[in-house]
Structure 1
Amino acid sequence: MLLLASGFVLALGGKLYELTLPLLLYDLTHSAVAMSAMRSIEFLPNLLLAVFIGVLVDRSRKKRWTILSVFFQIAVLAGLYLWTEKGPGASSLYACYIGGFLLMTFGYAYNNARVALVKQCLPAGLLAPANASYSFMTTLIGIGGPALTGLILSFSNLQDGLLLTAAAYIPALLLLSLLPADDRSPRPKPAGWSRELGEARRELMRNRALWQITLLVVFMNAASGMVDATVIFTAKDRLALSSGMLGLVLSAAGAGGLAGSLLLP
């Protein structure tokens, strides 16, 4: 329940950030290229660091890892807010790129550790219902989150969205600190970075289904990133929609996701 509650807060805050940063980039550049570049940079941690983060999470205390990941996201959001408050310019653009990369890196690290914590908290027979509950919760936020985000941004500066996201992450940090202590039973000595990375690569190449799923996810994420950037740019540049209306447009995508999750069984 603590993981589910903290995940709810993080997902809600994440929706605020996911709309704030593209709109901030649009205000800075009015460029579809800059917004698409931001989406590409956000995918780089998964592409370049995923296997290293996986090995590191395996070696670390999962509770500590989730707390540190959320803490660093708060720090990055606060730093990005302070930097962009200085006003538009090339430095603000690069700050958004660096901030987006770091936020996705720490977010990916948190998600890896959260999955491992679910396995520690529940018996194997309850893992599927637990993951289904988490997916339903994030999909539900996908419906209401963008509309609420758009409404909030309609009454505030775009930079305030970064600060509000950081503030939303603080309760999640407190909830994660209430988790039971990590299992401190003796663990086998790590085999070494090169050996563990080699095992991961061999498993990926050996397991055909895993390799096919990996390729599918890569292309789906790339396509999704292009669509997201295009929708937001078109809504602001061609249709001149307000932030509130844009939030409603993005909420339609969340409604489709909820319908898909209900029809899947």
Structure 2
Amino acid sequence: MQFALRNLALVLKNKDFVFLTIGEAISSFGNRFFKIAFPILIYNLSKSAIALSTMIVIETLPQILFGLFLGVALDRYDRKKIIMYSIVIQTLLVLIIPLLIHVNAHLFFYYVIAFLLSLFGMVYDTSVSVIIPSICAKRDIQVYNSVFQTIRTISKLVGPGLGGLLISIYSISSVLIFDAVTFIVLLLMLIKVTVPQIPLNKSRFKFSELFEGIKTIKKSKVIWSTVILVVFINIAMQAFNASLVYYTKHELYLKDDLVGIIFSFAGLGGIAGGIIAGTLTNKFTPGKILIFSCLLLSGFITCYPFFANWILAGAMYAVISLLVTVMDVTIISTIQQTTNNDILGKVITSINVLTLTISPLGALISGPLTSITSIQTTFVTFGLVTILGVFFSLNKQFLSYKYTDTNTKSV
């Protein structure tokens, strides 16, 4: 606790980081509303596990199709303007959904909105990962990432439960309008953030720039092993996320407010994970943290559908969220530590493309697998997938690499 308070005091001295985090916390709260409202909306329209898994796949496509181009843009143009434009567009897209509900639009149009929201959400999330090292001291990057993730996921504690309650009292449209308002607050906070400008690359664009990030990744055994592990984790979590609403609605027969409460349990895990992540690297190497967390994740995903009780389902979801948060903070901190800022955008987007190209298999397979067999078979199958990630990612440098106080070359 004392270490966590010391970390908090450190980041409070950084006004740019404080404004960014306040805006993100409020926006994340609205986003939690969206995360519970939109899948429920798709389920109510389709009553289908395949429809839900299709939505997950669609939300993955923008990263695969446009990720490399985004990396080039972030390393060539004004990063603050890019992130602000993305927020404005996301606000407008969220406000379109209540209009689609009003006119009883076909499911296809909701998929289009899901695709576009995922595209500009990707722009925002990647931009934040690139901006944080610019406004924070490199030696304290793990601290900033853990605090940012902790505050960001506090919204998971209250957001989904309150969102489910508001849906049952008012409507999905009301929840989505609130989400749009939180985007506006985020935009106002970002106006106050000063982002140091990197030297802009004014040379003519070359197609080879798209692959500079991949070349950098392949030179680093640490990052390459991380990428392999993340591929398998993403496959498993895609399947888990695609199946969760179906499991709670179709197997546990829960009402919308209880589904929201289960999602809120993830907030507890996220908060704990953010706090823990800031302290674990003082005792363990990033590689060991990732491997151990992945093994635990496998166990909890495998056992998840065998506890037909909403309280136990929520508690296990909290642990899964804790483990995923620890891994998220560890992964992004490792990338930021080992990569120069002028190419960080290309590296982050390249990693996302590499890890997400295969991960839609989780969502693609989970729906049909559940329909043909059972939801229990689906969870067990993808719990075992994470163990394969551990097997294929292990190497000596990955397990022994430690964070440094300054920028380092790829290792």
Q: TM-score, normalised by structure 1?
A: 0.89
- The one-letter amino acid paired with 1:56 is A
Q: Which position in structure 2 is the counterpart of 1:112?
A: 126
CA distance in 2, matches of 1:10, 1:258: 16
Deviation of 1:128 after TM superposition, in Å, equals 2.5
Deviation of 1:22 after TM superposition, in Å, equals 0.4
Q: 1:257–1:121: structure 2 CA closer, same or farther, 3 Å change rule?
A: closer
Q: Which position in structure 1 is the counterpart of 2:237?
A: 224
- The one-letter amino acid paired with 1:30 is K
Q: Which position in structure 2 is the counterpart of 1:244?
A: 257
Deviation of 1:119 after TM superposition, in Å, equals 2.3
Q: 1:199–1:191: structure 2 CA closer, same or farther, 3 Å change rule?
A: farther
Structure 1 gap segments, 5+ residues each: none
Deviation of 1:175 after TM superposition, in Å, equals 1.2
Cα deviation digits, residues 127-186 of structure 1 (max 9, x gap)? 322211101112322222221222222212123322221122111111112223x55675
Cα deviation digits, residues 84-136 of structure 1 (max 9, x gap)? 2212x5x2x11211111111111111122222322222232333222111011
**Is structure 2 residue 69 aligned with structure 1 residue 45?**
no
**Which of 145, 148, 159 is 1:131 aligned to?**
145
**Which of 72, 75, 79 is 2:92 aligned to?**
75
Q: 1:208–1:183: structure 2 CA closer, same or farther, 3 Å change rule?
A: closer
Q: Which position in structure 1 is the counterpart of 2:338?
A: none
Q: Which position in structure 1 is the counterpart of 2:268?
A: 255
Q: 1:144–1:190: structure 2 CA closer, same or farther, 3 Å change rule?
A: farther
Structure 2 gap segments, 5+ residues each: 1-17, 281-411
User: Following superposition of structure 1 onto structure 2, how do residues 76-225 of structure 1 map, counting pairs within 5 Å?
Assistant: 76-87=93-104, 91=106, 93-180=107-194, 183=196, 187-190=200-203, 192-225=205-238
- Contact 2:27–2:183 under 8 Å retained in 1: yes
My pick for the range that moved more, 167-176 or 25-34, is 167-176
Deviation of 1:191 after TM superposition, in Å, equals 5.9
CA distance in 2, matches of 1:190, 1:80: 40
CA distance in 1, matches of 2:32, 2:185: 16
- The one-letter amino acid paired with 1:96 is Y
My pick for the range that moved more, 215-224 or 35-44, is 215-224
- Contact 1:151–1:244 under 8 Å retained in 2: yes
Q: Which position in structure 1 is the counterpart of 2:82?
A: 65
Q: 1:193–1:82: structure 2 CA closer, same or farther, 3 Å change rule?
A: farther
Q: 1:8–1:261: structure 2 CA closer, same or farther, 3 Å change rule?
A: closer
CA distance in 2, matches of 1:242, 1:145: 16
My pick for the range that moved more, 35-44 or 232-241, is 232-241
CA distance in 2, matches of 1:259, 1:250: 15
- Contact 1:13–1:165 under 8 Å retained in 2: yes
CA distance in 2, matches of 1:107, 1:193: 26
- The one-letter amino acid paired with 1:244 is D
- Contact 1:57–1:109 under 8 Å retained in 2: no
Q: Which position in structure 1 is the counterpart of 2:49?
A: 32
Q: 1:170–1:210: structure 2 CA closer, same or farther, 3 Å change rule?
A: same
CA distance in 2, matches of 1:208, 1:125: 22
- Contact 2:150–2:273 under 8 Å retained in 1: no
- Contact 1:9–1:168 under 8 Å retained in 2: yes
Q: Which position in structure 1 is the counterpart of 2:371?
A: none
Q: State the secondary structure of the residue aligned to 1:59.
A: coil
**Is structure 2 residue 39 aligned with structure 1 residue 22?**
yes
Greater Cα radius of gyration, structure 1 or 2? 2
Deviation of 1:214 after TM superposition, in Å, equals 2.0
- The one-letter amino acid paired with 2:131 is L
Question: Alignment RMSD, CA only?
Answer: 2.1
Greater relative contact order structure (CA < 8 Å, 6+ sep) = 1
Q: TM-score, normalised by structure 2?
A: 0.59
- The one-letter amino acid paired with 2:267 is G
Q: State the secondary structure of the residue aligned to 2:117.
A: helix
CA distance in 2, matches of 1:190, 1:218: 34
Deviation of 1:54 after TM superposition, in Å, equals 1.3
CA distance in 1, matches of 2:276, 2:57: 31
